[in-house]
Chain A
Amino acid sequence: MEGEALVAAAKYLAAGICMGIGAIGPGVGEGIIGAHALDAMARQPEMANSLLRTMVIADAIAETTGIYSLVVAIVLIFVV
């Protein structure tokens, strides 16, 4: 294995590692956000609407780093 085959193998491996590790953080973060939002909704059901809105925004922000790693993985596979 040499030259282009090595580069191809390396880029697929890199994309897999990038996405795999990059998905851990957002997963944990969104889990924590969802759990606490459910907690708060169970405590005060009348606040559910505004809590849901805040939860979606917080989810989207926690997801950002996961999206970055997805973009890097896609660039590795299709562009490099």
Chain B
Amino acid sequence: MLEQLGKELALRFTVGGVEIAFNLVVVAVAVAVGGILLATASWLTRGLPRDPDAPLTRRAAVLVTVVDVFQNHLLGGVSPRLARQLLPFVATLFFYVLLCNWVGILPLPYIVSPTQDLNVTLGLAFLVYGLTHYYGIRSKGIARHLKGYLEPFPFLLPLNVVGDLGRTLSHGFRLFGNILGGALLTTVAPVVAMQIASLIPAVGVVLGWGARVPLMLLLNAWFGLLMGAIQALVFALLAVAYIQVTAD
């Protein structure tokens, strides 16, 4: 049960003396999650009424609710112009991370959350980092955006640059650490509980197996569903906050 922890199915090849490894499971699941999101989105937007005053169909009502929630809660503190530009990206980021986190609770062999791979989360974090510069330059112009690094005092420039990068790294590490920690605990805790229960004479083994299933369900619900949703929310919220700080 525990011997597969920390192992991975990897595709390795060497390019110019540098070994590159792709974790095939993570790549496949990450692409599949993207595909599921695309399919769901195209199904939801199919047959939308062209006329904005037409009575809402059921799918249109779902979409309106989602957009409303994102506009009022996630993007509530952002200026309306920026919120309009950010809404599609932030909604995509939230649902992608959410689904990536939730994939991990499927009881299939080898299927893990892509977000418990540092490459995925750091990739998403650097995507957000790039977008902070894009929106910063777009709303303030390149000169004023670069001048922002010299504030409040010019000699604080290295501190600002390091702080920027540290912020991005911790953005990626936070999602990675939370999801990986939850996944490890979900795998390890039932096994450890069973070993502890088997120390009790006579009824120990039965007790262990009896406690194992509810414990696994509880851990999956807590760390998989609840923590997955909270971390996806935090990831999207922080992305909005970082972009907003540079753009204003």
Q: Complex: how many Å from CA A78 to CA B170?
A: 21
Residues 26-74 (chain A) with a chain B CB within 8 angstroms? 49-50, 53, 56-57, 59-60, 63-64, 67-68, 70-71, 74
Whether a CB of chain A sits under 8 angstroms from the CB of B174 is yes
Contact of A64 among B170, B176, B230 (CB under 8 A): B170
Question: Which B-chain residue is minimally distant from A66 (CB atoms)?
Answer: B177
A53 touches B73 (CB 8 A): yes
Point out which of A59, A60, A74 has the most chain B C-beta atoms below 10 A from its C-beta.
A60
Whether a CB of chain A sits under 8 angstroms from the CB of B29 is no
Main secondary structure of the interface of A (DSSP, over half): helix
Residues 1-55 (chain B) with a chain A CB within 8 angstroms? 5-6
Which residues of B have CB within 8 Å of A56?
Answer: 230, 233-234, 237
Residues 189-225 (chain B) with a chain A CB within 8 angstroms? none
Contact of A70 among B72, B76, B181, B237 (CB under 8 A): B181
* Contact A53 to B173, CB < 8 A, known contacts A60-B238, A74-B180: no
Contact of B76 among A50, A57, A74 (CB under 8 A): A50
- Of the A-B pairs whose beta carbons lie under 8 Å apart in the complex, a sample of 30, sorted by A's number, is A49-B72, A49-B73, A49-B76, A53-B73, A53-B77, A56-B230, A56-B234, A57-B237, A57-B238, A57-B241, A59-B234, A60-B174, A60-B237, A64-B170, A64-B173, A64-B174, A67-B170, A67-B173, A67-B174, A67-B178, A68-B173, A70-B177, A70-B181, A71-B173, A74-B177, A74-B180, A74-B181, A74-B184, A78-B5, A78-B6
Top 10 nearest A-B pairs (CB, nearest first) are A67-B177, A78-B6, A70-B177, A64-B170, A60-B234, A67-B174, A70-B181, A71-B177, A67-B173, A57-B241
Which residues of A have CB within 8 Å of B241?
Answer: 57
**How near does chain B come to A18, taking the closest CB pair, in angstroms?**
13
**How near does chain B come to A72, taking the closest CB pair, in angstroms?**
10
